[in-house]
């Protein structure tokens, strides 16, 4: 699979990575065997970047990654996140002591001395301009507890703020056919600063596979049920912030634009891969079929000009008003 340099980390990573929130929780149950199969299938298919976080299943996603890697000779780049264990969830919690404790826990969960990448996990906005936080992360790099750090952001504004700090190696942001604002300023600025972009929620939590209809329901322990209106965390993380019925109708049009010969999910991922500035796209997957379907995006041809303009029309007509000025 195509590999690209991941910003200032010095690592090359596959253009299709694997998001592993599903292997922790909040997406209905994924049992141990399925999680191991998903990880193996991704690595076997050439995925060299895994995205996880200390809070996915309270460490379960990180631990499953550690277990999966024990039996393998290859070693992917593992990007984890820290910061959402803050309790209460406020900027004052991002002390050197707390950051160190969270990061040490991830080192234990993942079974490594040095974490490849720690991303600040969508903290309160003030944290992105808190020099003390960056000083702590710089010290942790010096001590080789982490090899590099980056940020995961909700808004373009937060990403632009983080870019002012030279130690930031990567930015993770929601980017998909239904979330285009990062294309305007954030991706060009990141590119100029040699900062890698991890594009998350690329399928709008599954909407952009075209497989749901207005009557689709999700289990009680799935955020697509319990966070529909942002009850538990930023609503932008659920269906990319697009109201479900509106997203279903727009995804139907996306599927038509993709045509019968290309699965809509792979088509949607190819769109992300080809945006200038994107390093890697990190779709989440609950099973092996999904992993393989997503990896196939790496070998698809770029979208045609008419497909690109049709997608832009769908965005402008159906989606823009719901998301563009919000994140």
Binding site for ligand NAP (CB under 6 A): 19-22, 27, 51, 81, 121-122, 152, 172, 200-206, 209, 211, 237, 265, 282-286, 290, 293-294
Report angle CA 204, 50, 8 to the nearest 5 degrees.
100
Q: Which of 56, 128, 134, 212 is catalytic?
A: 56
* Residue 320 C-beta: closest distance to ligand NAP, Å: 19
Q: State which residue, 10 or 219, has the beta carbon closest to ligand NAP.
A: 219
Q: State which residue, 139 or 183, has the beta carbon closest to ligand NAP.
A: 183
Q: How far apart are the C-alpha atoms of 44 and 55, rounded to whole Å? A: 26
* Residue 159 C-beta: closest distance to ligand NAP, Å: 12
Annotated catalytic residue 128? no
Per-residue tokens: 13: 């990573």
Confirm if 279 and 6 have CB atoms less than 8 A apart: yes
* Residue 202 C-beta: closest distance to ligand NAP, Å: 5
Under DSSP, is residue 115 helix (H, G, I), strand (E, B) or coil? strand
Q: State which residue, 152 or 307, has the beta carbon closest to ligand NAP.
A: 152
* Residue 247 C-beta: closest distance to ligand NAP, Å: 11
> Could you tell me where the beta strands, DSSP code E, fall in 52-104?
77-82
* Residue 142 C-beta: closest distance to ligand NAP, Å: 25
Q: State which residue, 11 or 207, has the beta carbon closest to ligand NAP.
A: 207
> Could you tell me where the beta strands, DSSP code E, fall in the chain?
3-5, 12-14, 18-19, 49-51, 77-82, 117-121, 149-152, 168-174, 196-200, 280-281
Report angle CA 15, 113, 124 to the nearest 5 degrees.
65
Confirm if 208 and 249 have CB atoms less than 8 A apart: no
Report angle CA 65, 127, 174 to the nearest 5 degrees.
55
Q: State which residue, 158 or 318, has the beta carbon closest to ligand NAP.
A: 158
List active site positions: 56
């Amino acid at each position: 699979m195509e590999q690209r340099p991941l910003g200032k980390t010095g690592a090359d990573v596959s253009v299709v990575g694997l998001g592993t929130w599903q292997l922790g929780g909040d997406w209905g149950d994924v049992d141990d065997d399925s999680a191991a199969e998903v990880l193996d299938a991704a690595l076997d298919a050439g995925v060299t970047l895994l995205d996880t976080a200390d809070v996915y299943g309270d460490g379960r996603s990180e631990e499953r990654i550690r277990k999966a890697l024990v039996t393998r000779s290859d070693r992917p780049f593992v990007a984890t996140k820290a910061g959402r264990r803050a309790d209460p969830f406020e900027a004052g919690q991002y002390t050197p002591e707390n950051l160190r404790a969270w990061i040490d826990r991830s080192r234990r969960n993942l079974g490594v001395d040095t974490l490849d990448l720690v991303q600040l996990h969508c903290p309160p906005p003030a944290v992105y301009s808190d020099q003390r936080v960056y000083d702590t992360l710089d010290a942790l790099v010096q001590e080789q507890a982490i090899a590099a750090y980056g940020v995961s952001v909700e808004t373009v504004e937060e990403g632009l703020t983080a870019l002012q700090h030279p130690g930031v190696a990567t930015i993770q942001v929601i980017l998909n056919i239904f979330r285009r604002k990062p294309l305007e300023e954030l991706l060009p600025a990141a590119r100029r600063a040699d900062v890698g972009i991890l594009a998350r929620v690329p399928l709008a939590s599954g909407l952009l596979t075209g497989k749901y209809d207005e009557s689709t329901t999700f289990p009680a322990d799935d955020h697509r049920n319990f966070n529909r209106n942002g009850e538990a965390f930023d609503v932008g993380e659920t269906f990319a912030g697009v109201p479900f019925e509106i997203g279903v109708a727009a995804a139907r049009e996306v599927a038509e634009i993709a045509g019968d010969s290309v699965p809509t999910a792979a088509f949607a991922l190819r769109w992300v891969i080809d945006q200038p500035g994107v390093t890697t796209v990190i779709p989440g997957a609950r099973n092996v079929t999904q992993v393989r379907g997503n990896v196939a995006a790496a070998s698809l041809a770029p979208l045609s000009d008419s497909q690109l303009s049709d997608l832009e029309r769908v965005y402008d007509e159906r989606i823009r008003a719901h998301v563009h000025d919000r994140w």
